[in-house]
Structure 1
Amino acid sequence: MSESLLADTTGISAGPVSQLLEMGGPVMIVLLAIALAGVVTFIYLMLFGTFFAPRFTAKLKNAIKEWQQKPGSSTPEQLQKRAGRYAKLNPLHHLIVNTMNARLDDTDSQQIRESVARDAHDALEPFEAPLKIIEVIAALAPLLGLLGTVLGMMEAFGAMAATEGRANASQLSGGIYEALTTTAAGLVIAIPFAALAAWIEFRLRRIQKTINSALVTVISVPVTSQESPAAVETRDESVSDTGARSRRMADYSEDGHQGRLANATG
C-alpha cells in the first residue's frame, strides 16, 4: 500500500513537468532551462545587491552635512572610524571618503572628476551582467515559444499530409493544442522577467543618480588650502628677513645718507 501511495505521489509531482515536456518537445526543455537560469540570476542579483550595492545611509548624509559646514580632515577620518563591517562593503562609502581626501590634498578638479566617474562606473558594473541576462531571457522566451509552435504545426500538418487528408478534426486540433503550449510557456516566462528587468534598471538609475548627487555635493564644497608647518615656518622667516631689511634701510636714512644725496643733486 505504501508503494502505491509513493507511486501516486511521484506521479503527481512529476506529472506536470513530464506532460509539458511531452507536449512542447525540445523547445520546452530550453524554455524551462532559461527560466531556471533567470531565477538563479535574480536570486544572485538580490543577494549581491543586499551587501554590495551603493547605499546612501544616514551616516553618509550626516558626514556630507558636516563637510558642507566645515570641510576638513576630521570628516573623512571620523567616517572611516565609525564605519562598521557592513558599511565597509558599501562602495559609496569609499567613494565619498576618497573624494574628500582628494579635495584635501589639493588634487586637480578635473582629475578628481575623472577618478570619481571611473569608480562610480566600477561600483555599478557588477549589476550590468545579471540585468543583461534577465533582459535576454525576457526577449528570447517568446521567440522560443513561437519556434515551438511553428515546429508543432509543421508536425501536425505533416501527419495530416501523411494520411492523405483523411485525418479527422480531433487529431488536427490536438496537434495544434500541443503546438500552442510552447507559445503560452514562452509568454509566461517572458512577462515576469520583462517586469523584473524594468524594475532592476529603474533601481540602478536611482542608485546612479544618488551617487552623482552625493559626489557632486562633496566636490562643489570650497576647501581652503592648509599650509604645512614647514611652509608656515619658511613664510615667518621670510617675513622677519623683510622686516630686518626695512629696519636697516630706515637706519641708513637716519644716518644722513639721504641728506647728502639730496645736497649732491640739488
Structure 2
Amino acid sequence: MSESLLADTTGISAGPVSQLLEMGGPVMIVLLAIALAGVVTFLYLMLFGTFFAPRFTSKLKKAITEWQQKPDGNVSEHLQRSAGRYAQLNPLHHLIVNTMNARNAGTDPQQIRESVARDAHEALEPFEAPLKIIEVIAALAPLLGLLGTVLGMMEAFGAMAATEGRANASQLSGGIYEALTTTAAGLVIAIPFAALSAWIEFRLRRIQKTINSALVTLLSVPVATTESEPEMEAHDKPAPAAGTRTGRVVEYSGDEHQGRLANATG
C-alpha cells in the first residue's frame, strides 16, 4: 500500500518534466536548462540591485539642495556622517561625496568629469552582464524551438520515407507532436524573458538619467576655493590697488577691477 502511494507520489512529482522531455526530445532539455539559467539570473539581478543599485534617496536630494545654496565641505562631511550601513552600499552616495570633495579641493574640472564618468560606468557595469544573459535567452529560445520543429518534421518525414509513403497517422503524429511542442516551449520561454529584458533596460536608463542629473547639478554650481592662482594668470593680471582677501571672499576697488569682474561673471 505504502509502496503504491510512494510510486504515485513520485510519478506525480516527476511527471511534468519527464513528459516534457518525452514530448520535446533533446531540444526540450536545452530549453529547460536555459529557462532555469534565466530564472536564476533574474533572481540574482533583483537581489544584487536591492543592495547595490544606485538610488537617489531623500538624503542625497537634501544634500544636493544644500550644496546649491552653499557649496562647501560641510555638506559632504554631514552626508558622510549621516550615512548608515545601507547607504554606504549605494554607489550614487559615493559618487556625490567624491564629487563634492574634489570640487572643494580645487581639482581640475576636466579631471573631475573623467573620474565621474568612469565611476558612473563602474556603478552600472555589474548589471550589464545579467541583462545580456536575459536578452540572449529571449532571442535564443525561439530559435531552439524552431530547431526542435525541424528535427520533429525530419523524424516524421523519415518515418514516411521508411514505409515508402505508406506511413499511418500514428507514425507521423510523434514527429509532428515533437515539432509543435518545442515550438510552443520556445515561445513560452522567450516571451516573458523578452519582457523582462525590456523592463530591466528601462530601469537602467532611468538610473543612468538620475545619476547624470545629480552629477551635472553638482558640477554646475560655482565653487570658490582658497587655492593660489596659477602663475600665468598672476603675471597677466596686475595686483589690485586696494584689495583684501579674507577667507574665500576677495574685495576689489577701482573701475578697472570692476570691469574685469563684470566680464568674468558674464
Coarse TM-score class (shorter-chain normalised): 0.7 to 0.9
1:73 aligned residue: 73
Equivalent residue of 1:149, what SS?
helix
Matches within 5 A, 1:1-266: 1-226=1-226
How many corresponding residue pairs? 230
What displacement does 1:226 show?
A: 2.7
TM-score for the superposition, normalised by structure 1: 0.84
- Which has more radius of gyration? 1
Matched letter for residue 134 of structure 1: I
Counterpart contact for 2:159–2:171, Cα < 8 Å: no
Deviations 1:89-128 (A, max 9, x none): 0000000000000100111111111110010000000000
Matched letter for residue 32 of structure 1: L
Flag the structure with higher helix content.
Answer: 1
Matched letter for residue 144 of structure 1: L
Extract unaligned runs of 5+ from structure 2.
Answer: 229-238, 243-266
Equivalent residue of 1:68, what SS?
helix
Deviations 1:50-100 (A, max 9, x none): 000000000000000000000111000000000000000000000000000
**Distance (Å, rounded) in 1 between the aligned partners of 2:187 and 2:82:** 49
Runs of 4+ in 1 over 2 A off after TM superposition: none
**Distance (Å, rounded) in 1 between the aligned partners of 2:180 and 2:147:** 10
Matched letter for residue 120 of structure 1: A
Matched letter for residue 81 of structure 2: K
What displacement does 1:25 show?
A: 1.2
What displacement does 1:169 show?
A: 2.7
Counterpart contact for 2:131–2:197, Cα < 8 Å: yes
Counterpart contact for 2:106–2:227, Cα < 8 Å: no
**Distance (Å, rounded) in 2 between the aligned partners of 1:32 and 1:172:** 25
What displacement does 1:14 show?
A: 0.8
**Distance (Å, rounded) in 2 between the aligned partners of 1:13 and 1:215:** 54
Matched letter for residue 50 of structure 1: T
1:259 aligned residue: none
What displacement does 1:202 show?
A: 0.1
Equivalent residue of 2:38, what SS?
helix
What displacement does 1:227 show?
A: 5.6
- Determine which structure has greater relative contact order: mean sequence separation of CA pairs < 8 Å that are 6+ residues apart, divided by chain length: 1
Equivalent residue of 2:223, what SS?
coil
